[in-house]
Amino acid sequence: MRGNRIKKAGILFVIFMLCFTFVSRAAQSVTTAVVETKKAVSGKITHEISASGRIEAGSEFAVLIPEGLQVTEVCVEEGDDVAEGALLFMTAGNTKLARAREDFLSWERRASMDLSGLSDKYLQAYEDWQRYLAKTEGWYWKAEDDLQEDELELAVREKEYEYFNSCKEYFNDLAAAEKIRIGSLSGDAGRAESMAAKAQKVCQRLQEKLDTAKNEYWDYKRNRERSYQYTRKDDEKKYREALEKAIPEYQAAIEDYEDGLLTKIRAVEDSSTDNMDENGNVSSPVSGVVREIAVKEGAATPSSASAVIAVSSQKKQLRVQLGADMEKYLSAGDECIIKKYGASEEIRGQTITKLSYDEKDASLLDVTVEVHGEGLAVGDMVTVDFSRQSEQYPLVLPLDSIHIESGETYVLALKEREGILGKNLEAEKLSVKILEQNSDYAAVSSDGIADREIIVRTDRAVDAGSRVRQKVA
Amino acid sequence: MRHCRKCTEVLIFLFALLFFLPVLFLIAGSVMGEDELLGCLGPVFGQGGGYARMAVFPSFPTIRPYVKVLLDTPEFFVMFWNSVKITAGILAGQMIFGTMAAWGLAKGSFPGRKQLLWVYIALMLMPFQVLMLSDYLVLKELGLLDSHWGLIWQGAFSAFPVFIMYRFFDGIPPEMMEAAELDGAGSFQIFRHIGLPLGRAGIFSAMVLGLLESWSMIEQPMTFLKTKSLWPLSILLPEIQEGKIGYAFAVSVLIFLPALLVFLTGQKYLEQGIEASSVKKGGN
């Protein structure tokens, strides 16, 4: 009995284990994620940007007239074709301009006279200074000439002295030689001696004269220089002070005149307009279509444009706004495709002519596209598609396969692992760096993902190390 | 006398309980939550000071460990059936080759029979570590490394069951064999119709002991099996880690159950075998 019970227990245990073998496998297959994979391939990242807008005229003319004028009659409506010179609206006249002009003229007369007076004063001081300089210079040069004459005379005296000194030496030598040669011949020796004595006297007189001339020369030179310096210093101070006073006065007057002139001219410009005559009639400067009229009868003219004329002779354009981060994908000269709302035809070959940041909001980018083609008219609503392809990248993956967590960018790749259940696939985390991306794909750089199957889609959350099953295509 | 007997029974019961405590802890731990287990066994894993303790009755019992084993761990069943396959193969081999070897050693009359028996006994006494290298080289030459057949063949020719069955076959009276020979039975018929039935107790004893040994062997699978999908259940347990204690206890209970069932099935024969050998010794 007991043995039978034990046998039954054993059989039940085996059946129990068999059942749970299948149940656990079934539970595991339910909890194991099924993944779709792809390998990283070589490719380019294409950036497709779309926007919509309305076709505009290539250029527009804003009619600006002074603010605050009362509008008496509006002669056109928005959408009207107007020719150059056509009457747009009438105002009560531009009195402000007339006043500004009179004010300018009267100011200009006064300012010119004041400036002229100061100019004369400055010129007089300047001329006095120049004359003084010329006069003192004349004195200086005359003194220089006198000094030169004295130097010449002195040089002559020195030459004479040298001559007689040499004569003296000659006669001394001659006397000595005669004494020796003739001996006691008193006649020759006496003559030689008397000539030597005479020469010596002449030399002494000359030496005295020379010394005197030298002293006189140096005294004269010193006196001349001293008197010149003293005279020059006093007069110079007087004329220099006059000039230094005149110069800043004159310069300040010039600056005041220039400032005043600018202010007055600006006032006249603000009050004037090329588009309005003296009677206050405003006409169109160009031929085109009236896109906007910002004035009403009986109201005052605004500070902004009173009217905007779309110039019909110019080319058509499309202006759209995109996020400023799109700038890196666009550049002037890029081609784009335009499609009219409700139409399937694509008009290719349109080019971007200008890219600029919005003046009021730097996070917006204004893109201007030059539009050609017969199928598009001013005012049509269109969509525009921009496309930019990057360089060729060796590893491009779908963006769905890339995960970012705690600042780390990674992908999950399949890894075969030998386990108790045999060869299993599990997810392995591989770090990558995104080089460029669009909304669908990303170019990455990484070591070791070139030939790996990267998990792009799963039916449940998968972490690194999770067991997975690969979906068979 | 009766009082002494009662005291002896109580003492024996207490000793038995002492030996049974680890099994109680095993069962209790298999229904405890991880937090409670860490609270008891934390010092074993370096958490907290003091000594590990164990409770017989869990404060917050849960069957989550069993759910984890039975539903979330298909590896357990792969290893379970590996163990079943290996054990069944070894037992079948021992049944075939061990019984015939034991019969030949017990009842054969060839020269060197006694010496061969001593060789068997010597082989039986050698631990696995001594024979590991030679076994490895032989299996490698035979191309049986990293396969279940390597373990099965190695276990099928084990010396221990031969020794157990030899004792039983040796107890069969030779007169019965002579009578069978006179009736015209051949050697194999005598072995099949007389030896096997009369030696049934020994065979079952050897099978039970062989199953217990092969069900829990660790060294041979770790040495000869490299592929994880071939590992038996006995290798799963060494992976006890912090956070998997309850799971390890549940696995241990499930591993223990088959062995318990087999033991209970063959307990009668084990007792008969022990009794028979002691009577024979006394008789001799």
For the cut 60, the answer to whether the pLDDT of residue A435 exceeds it is yes
Chain A nearest-CA residue for B236: A420
Kindly determine whether residue A21 and residue B70, on different chains, have CB atoms separated by under 8 Å.
Answer: no
User: 3-state secondary structure string, chain A?
Assistant: CHHHHHHHHHHHHHHHHHHHHHHHHHHHHHHCEEEEEEECEEECCEEEEEEEEEEEEEEEEEECCCCCCEEEEECCCCCCEECCCCEEEEECCCHHHHHHHHHHHHHHHHHHHHHHHHHHHHHHHHHHHHHHHHHHHHHHHHHHHHHHHHHHHHHHHHHHHHHHHHHHHHHHHHHHHHHHHHCCCHHHHHHHHHHHHHHHHHHHHHHHHHHHHHHHHHHHHHHHHHHHHHHHHHHHHHHHHHHHHHHHHHHHHHHHHHHHHHHHHHHHHHHCCCCECCCCEEECCCCEEEEEECCCCCCECCCCCCEEEEEEEEEEEEEEEEEHHHHHHCCCCCEEEEEECCCCCEEEEEEEEEEEECCCCCCEEEEEEEECCCCCCCCCEEEEEEEEECCCEEEEEEHHHEEEECCEEEEEEEEEEEECCEEEEEEEEEECEEEEECCCEEEEECCCCCCCEEEEEECCCCCCCCEEEECCC
Q: What is the arithmetic mean of pLDDT over B225-245?
A: 81
Q: What is the arithmetic mean of pLDDT over B36-40?
A: 84
A378 vs A431 pLDDT, higher one: A431
- A3 contacts in B (CB within 8 Å)? 265, 268
For the segment A25-65, what is each residue's pLDDT rounded down to a tens digit? 888 888 889 999 999 999 999 988 999 988 877 677 778 77
Average pLDDT in chain B: 86
Q: Which residues between 81 and 100 in chain B have a beta carbon less than 8 angstroms from any beta carbon of chain A? A: 81
Q: What is the arithmetic mean of pLDDT over A446-470?
A: 89
Asked if B162 and B33 sit in the same domain, the reply is no
Distance of alpha carbon B36 from alpha carbon B203, whole angstroms: 45
Domain of residue B6, residue span: 2-62
Chain A nearest-CA residue for B69: A24
Distance of alpha carbon A174 from alpha carbon A204, whole angstroms: 20
Q: Summarize chain B as % helix, strand, coil (round to 5).
A: 80, 0, 20
Asked if B132 and B23 sit in the same domain, the reply is no
Nearest by Cα to A73 from A305, A281, A288, A276? A281
For the cut 80, the answer to whether the pLDDT of residue B154 exceeds it is yes
Asked if B51 and B162 sit in the same domain, the reply is no
Average pLDDT in chain A: 79
Asked if B129 and B259 sit in the same domain, the reply is yes
- B257 contacts in A (CB within 8 Å)? 13
Q: Where are the domains of chain A?
A: 30-45+394-470, 48-93+283-389, 99-269
Asked if B50 and B190 sit in the same domain, the reply is no
Task: Give the pLDDT confidence score for residue A265 in this predicted structure.
Answer: 67
pTM over 0.90: no
Task: Give the pLDDT confidence score for residue B15 in this predicted structure.
Answer: 92
Asked if B36 and B91 sit in the same domain, the reply is no
- Average the pLDDT over each of A147-151, A230-234, A302-306, B171-175 and give the range with the smallest value: A230-234
Asked if B46 and B88 sit in the same domain, the reply is no
Kindly determine whether residue A17 and residue B77, on different chains, have CB atoms separated by under 8 Å.
Answer: yes
Distance from CA of B77 to the nearest CA of A (A): 6
- A6 contacts in B (CB within 8 Å)? 261, 264-265
For the cut 60, the answer to whether the pLDDT of residue A182 exceeds it is no
For the cut 80, the answer to whether the pLDDT of residue A118 exceeds it is no
Place of tokens 């006069």: A135
Distance of CA A5 to the CA centre of its chain: 100
Provide the CB-side half-sphere exposure for A182 (13 A, CA): 15
- B77 contacts in A (CB within 8 Å)? 17, 20-21, 24-25
- A25 contacts in B (CB within 8 Å)? 74, 77
Query: CATH topology for A48-93+283-389?
Result: Elongation Factor Tu (Ef-tu); domain 3 (2.40.30)
Confidence of residue B200 (pLDDT cuts 50, 70, 90): confident
Nearest by Cα to A161 from A216, A199, A217? A199
Q: What is the arithmetic mean of pLDDT over A125-147?
A: 71
For the segment A440-457, what is each residue's pLDDT rounded down to a tens digit? 999 998 888 888 999 999
Confidence of residue A306 (pLDDT cuts 50, 70, 90): confident
Q: What is the arithmetic mean of pLDDT over A203-221?
A: 74
Q: What is the largest CA-CA distance in chain A?
A: 196
For the cut 50, the answer to whether the pLDDT of residue B198 exceeds it is yes
Distance from CA of B218 to the nearest CA of A (A): 16
Q: What is the arithmetic mean of pLDDT over B109-129?
A: 88
- Cβ contacts of residue A77 below 8 Å, gap of 6+? A290, A293
For the cut 70, the answer to whether the pLDDT of residue A136 exceeds it is no
For the cut 60, the answer to whether the pLDDT of residue A187 exceeds it is no
Interface confidence (ipTM) of the complex: 0.80
Please give the tally of structural domains in chain B.
2
Asked if B78 and B201 sit in the same domain, the reply is yes
Q: Which architecture characterizes domain A99-269 according to CATH? A: Orthogonal Bundle (1.10)
Distance from CA of B145 to the nearest CA of A (A): 17
What is the CATH number for B244?
A: 1.10.3720.10
For the segment A3-15, what is each residue's pLDDT rounded down to a tens digit? 788 888 888 999 9
Kindly determine whether residue B72 and residue A17, on different chains, have CB atoms separated by under 8 Å.
Answer: no
Asked if residue A361 lies in contact with residue A1, where contact means CB atoms within 8 angstroms, the answer is no
- Listed residues B39, B62, B85: the one ending a domain: B62
Task: Give the pLDDT confidence score for residue B283 in this predicted structure.
Answer: 42
Nearest by Cα to A309 from A5, A76, A41? A76
Asked if B132 and B199 sit in the same domain, the reply is yes
Distance of alpha carbon B42 from alpha carbon B34, whole angstroms: 10
For the segment A395-423, what is each residue's pLDDT rounded down to a tens digit? 999 999 999 989 999 999 999 988 888 88
Q: What is the arithmetic mean of pLDDT over A207-236?
A: 71
- Cβ contacts of residue B49 below 8 Å, gap of 6+? B43
Confidence of residue B267 (pLDDT cuts 50, 70, 90): confident
Task: Give the pLDDT confidence score for residue A175 in this predicted structure.
Answer: 60
Kindly determine whether residue A20 and residue B79, on different chains, have CB atoms separated by under 8 Å.
Answer: no
Place of tokens 């003219």: A301
Kindly determine whether residue A6 and residue B79, on different chains, have CB atoms separated by under 8 Å.
Answer: no
Distance from CA of B201 to the nearest CA of A (A): 15
Query: CATH topology for A30-45+394-470?
Result: 2.40.420
Task: Give the pLDDT confidence score for residue B137 in this predicted structure.
Answer: 94
Task: Give the pLDDT confidence score for residue A230 in this predicted structure.
Answer: 65
B63: which DSSP letter? -
Asked if B166 and B112 sit in the same domain, the reply is yes
Nearest 5°: phi and psi at A365? -115, 125
User: CB distance from B262 to chain A under 8 Å?
Assistant: yes
Bridge pairing between strands A467-470 and A33-39: parallel
Confidence of residue A304 (pLDDT cuts 50, 70, 90): confident
Asked if B117 and B79 sit in the same domain, the reply is yes
Inter-chain contacts counted by CB atoms under 8 A, chains A and B: 57
Asked if B173 and B202 sit in the same domain, the reply is yes
B56: which DSSP letter? S
Task: Give the pLDDT confidence score for residue A248 in this predicted structure.
Answer: 80
Kindly determine whether residue A13 and residue B227, on different chains, have CB atoms separated by under 8 Å.
Answer: no
For the segment A319-376, what is each residue's pLDDT rounded down to a tens digit? 899 988 888 888 888 888 988 888 888 888 888 888 888 888 888 989 988 887 777 7
For the cut 60, the answer to whether the pLDDT of residue A185 exceeds it is no
